[in-house]
Amino acid sequence: MAGIELYQSSRKPYAGKPEPVVIGIPTMMDSSALVFIADEKGYFAENGLDVTIHEYEAGLYAVDDMLKGKNDIAVATEFVMVGKIFDQEEIGSIASIAKYESHYLIGRKDRGIEDVSDLKGKRIGYARGTSGEFYLNRYLELHGMNLSEITPVDVRPSQYAEAIENGSVDAILSWEPYAGITRDHLGEDVVAWPAQSGQLGYWNAICKKDWAEAHPETVYRFLKAIDRAVEYTIYHPDEAKAISQRRLNASETYVEDSWNNTQYSLSLDQSLITAMEDEGRWMIASNLTGERNIPDYQNYTYLTAIGAVKPESVNIIV
């Protein structure tokens, strides 16, 4: 996607007819804050975009609807991208808009879970096809276990808290805000461990290749608006948090915790490619794809627009 030409005439406010754009976002602080801020502060409108926002419980579902033509742009993790690329979908990242550490492995003490080793033989829930699947497997591997030593249970994110509370699972790989809700409900009966093992995840603005090729100026103007939102988080952090808290109907504690575990920025980094290669190798080794070779993930990034908006944020080795 890197060869798409960008028709950039000026950096003046857009004066043409507003263009409708539909954005699908997971309703989580780290993935949605910049979109909500750009919408609330009028940055999309300033750049000639008439934005409709569709909200989802996970980025996977936003991308699925994008592939069905219901969204023009979807926000999702790099793991979702890896899976869709293996499925031969012609998609790509126009930018990473946040880097995060928000996944937790949460267990119930009354089910005999006090230490990581106690997870053996237990029913552990996660949302299949999301980044949670990768982080659960990686966490188990780092502690000398694998999926064959537990009973995996596919659970939708919105049902995380209910599943562990009603006992249908003994533990769950969750992310915020669901992780915090689960911890609060279980109280003293909960044990929780950060599940990403220091590995940052990437929230990406993703679109179909043919849509990006047909709308290069739209991609450019979308990224201009997001870049303004990034600046707003830097110079007006309290106001940015307040906007996100109100739009998410979230608690102040959740907003503060997520803010501290998220890096809001506009970027396309080599580290994104490295993470995708790592996850691709894991998917192949785990027989989650029929493919046996790692694609060149650089071919699934769109460098032109972000290079025009913020060239210093591009750090991919060409």
62's tokens: 């936003």
Give the pairing of strands 49-56 and 19-26. Answer: parallel
Better-predicted residue by pLDDT, 179 or 297: 297
pLDDT band at 13 (very low <50, low <70, confident <90, very high): low
167: left (phi over 0), alpha (psi -120 to 50) or beta: left
Domain residue spans in the chain?
19-101+201-315, 103-194
Residue 96: name the closest of 311, 309, 301, 241 by CA.
Answer: 301
The DSSP call for residue 159 is G
Average pLDDT over residues 229-244: 98
State pLDDT tens for residues 260-302: 999 999 999 999 999 999 999 999 999 999 999 999 999 999 9
Q: How far is CA 180 from CA 90, 157, 160, 195, 318, in A?
A: 35, 13, 11, 14, 40
Asked whether the beta carbons of 157 and 57 are under 8 A apart, the reply is yes
Residue 133 identity (one-letter amino acid): E
Q: Where are the beta strands (DSSP E) in 137-232?
A: 151-154, 171-175, 190-194, 201-208
Average pLDDT over residues 238-267: 95
Same topology between domain 19-101+201-315 and domain 103-194: yes
Average pLDDT over residues 166-182: 91
Average pLDDT, the chain: 93
Average pLDDT over residues 115-138: 94
pLDDT band at 250 (very low <50, low <70, confident <90, very high): very high
pLDDT of residue 241: 97
Instruction: State the CATH architecture for 103-194.
Output: 3-Layer(aba) Sandwich (3.40)
CATH number given to 19-101+201-315: 3.40.190.10
pLDDT band at 7 (very low <50, low <70, confident <90, very high): very low
For the cut 60, the answer to whether the pLDDT of residue 8 exceeds it is no
For the cut 50, the answer to whether the pLDDT of residue 9 exceeds it is no
For the cut 70, the answer to whether the pLDDT of residue 214 exceeds it is yes
Average pLDDT over residues 235-251: 96
